[in-house]
Structure 1
């Protein structure tokens, strides 16, 4: 299935194919490791583009921070041997310059760079006058405006072929994955930029190989355009991110197990049934919003009584009671505890704001 992106120039098809599969080692470690990984990936016939980390921004000093520029000839050789395009992460103007010198086909901006507008601008300035596709990963923190800002800076540099990579977000309390998916954020980016390719990086979201397939399928079901998955000839002994990498052959098996879905169909029976169900959703949403409005009116009355009696807005015991009651009731109705907490948090915050306006407005 072909996808047309308004930011993509006709002569640059590299990030417009759907599905687009990008794979390669987290880090280029040695020439032999880089070449063998890439050639084995190419032999699977499943991969459209090769990747390898040349410079590795790490959380703490002392960790392996990439082989550096001397790894670019290895990746260039892999490109020549396989015929597949190559992509590399860049964070500075010098990185851009070096990649262009070794015919890198696509650049990507990593999460630790996207979070810093000064760094993104440096990369953007280095790209002026260059015709090369650029992928932009979400920033580490869940901030859509930073992600949008990165897109805008690169676009203003004259880059026409831009794509997005969702790799999850750092989030306090997240224990299930290495980075919390927060699927609503890439979904919102897709709503804002509907024709811009959106790729999922389940390797960095999951942080371990046993969840790669389920995360990949989830992104596909949300109409993502492709995947970036890390692969290594000897994952357990990789110099970085060993737990989340898979062999090229295992990657092929994983990809074979995925179901790629289409956004819509021309089957009239499906379209008619879907429209009826969507109308039911619309009516239910109207009723829910009306009930929430009624609830807020009651919260304002409570605010009036609190003001008259000089009582604080926040009542911790009452809030705990609401949560416990909501979780218990939600479980009986088939609603997850996570959803109930998010729903009640939003309701509670709006109630506090309403009462604050009554008491102090």
Structure 2
């Protein structure tokens, strides 16, 4: 994918003293007292750089708590005055942007339900023209990298240079452990397309339960994310929204203390050994591709044989046999089952495509 962004580095618009950025605060701003008490505790713990709070809450069904709206924005002003920390809110309409800036909100983020709609994103981009404010873009609800990239591009083309992404996971019917499937590969691909783009992990919305927050946060840091945005409430069990995924500021402070931040740089001895190991991996990858090419050559011969005997390219029983036998081989080699399953689904579907191509070329 050919894409580029003209953006400023994270360090130019917020000082984290070389540490990962931490944005913390309640899912929703419920009352002024709740906001001030939670923010004060966050400040006292000393881990956060920004206080977050949901003011406008896009809910799936009507009748759910949809946020306090403009009434909550003066509370965030009070949070800034009392703690000295900048504040961040989600915006979904140009009116939200206007109100947030009117009350001195420092950082805006675009939610997953907004990112999914290019028309909505463009309206936000148009409203942000000429405005110097950091904007973070959450991934769309569904695993669509193009939508995420497109949202970032629209905002950047409108002149937003203090730009970042939030990885909050994706809706996935096959996911049973987490609220939203992390699908780390999509965020990694985004970072590959835009190496300079700050990527912030959102363990709260991936996990859905506080018991899983640590493992997801650590994984994000292991992948060298630029920071974390985590929900924290003075009394999580009484929160008006997403109670199960919030931590008290003290519990969050302890969790962050326990996380390991990996080094970005390394010494010459480490680099030398790393290159040796990477060289071996490169050689194995080359062998894998050569083996795959040999397999596809056999597939062409198979297609010719099927054509000559008037046999269909796709054989259901054979497809099942391939998946079952390869799964067994993978288990014997201690390979991750999903890796083997997805790999051979791709290989077999490419085999069918190639067979169909060969058969149709001959019959044309």
Q: TM-score, normalised by structure 1?
A: 0.95
Is 1:341 aligned to residue 341 of structure 2?
yes
CA distance in 2 between counterparts of 1:23 and 1:11 reads 18
CA distance in 2 between counterparts of 1:135 and 1:49 reads 13
Is 1:321 aligned to residue 293 of structure 2?
no
1:279-358 to 2 correspondence within 5 Å? 279-358=279-358
Shift of 1:312: 2.3
Task: Describe the SS at the equivalent of 1:37.
Answer: helix
In structure 1, runs of 5+ residues without a counterpart are: none
- The match for 2:237 is 236
CA distance in 1 between counterparts of 2:69 and 2:314 reads 54
1:191-210 to 2 correspondence within 5 Å? 191-210=192-211
For the structure 1 residues 91 and 10, does the alpha-carbon distance in structure 2 shift closer, same or farther, using more than 3 Å as the test? Answer: closer
CA deviation profile, 1:269-317 (whole Å, cap 9, x unmatched): 1111111111101100000000011111112222222222332222121
Task: Describe the SS at the equivalent of 1:88.
Answer: strand
- The match for 1:248 is 249
Contact 1:15 1:163 in 2 (8 A): no
CA deviation profile, 1:212-234 (whole Å, cap 9, x unmatched): 01100001011101000001111
1:1-361 to 2 correspondence within 5 Å? 7-8=7-8, 13-14=13-14, 18-265=19-266, 267-361=267-361
Shift of 1:12: 5.1
CA distance in 1 between counterparts of 2:168 and 2:11 reads 28
Contact 1:200 1:228 in 2 (8 A): yes
CA distance in 2 between counterparts of 1:70 and 1:219 reads 34
Bigger drift between 110-119 and 167-176 goes to 167-176
Q: TM-score, normalised by structure 2?
A: 0.95
CA distance in 1 between counterparts of 2:11 and 2:206 reads 32
Contact 1:15 1:133 in 2 (8 A): no
Cα RMSD (Å): 1.6
CA distance in 2 between counterparts of 1:32 and 1:316 reads 63
For the structure 1 residues 54 and 12, does the alpha-carbon distance in structure 2 shift closer, same or farther, using more than 3 Å as the test? Answer: farther
Shift of 1:160: 1.0
The runs of at least 4 aligned residues of structure 1 exceeding 6 Å deviation read none
Contact 2:10 2:162 in 1 (8 A): no
Contact 1:169 1:180 in 2 (8 A): yes
CA distance in 2 between counterparts of 1:11 and 1:296 reads 49
**Number of matched pairs:** 356
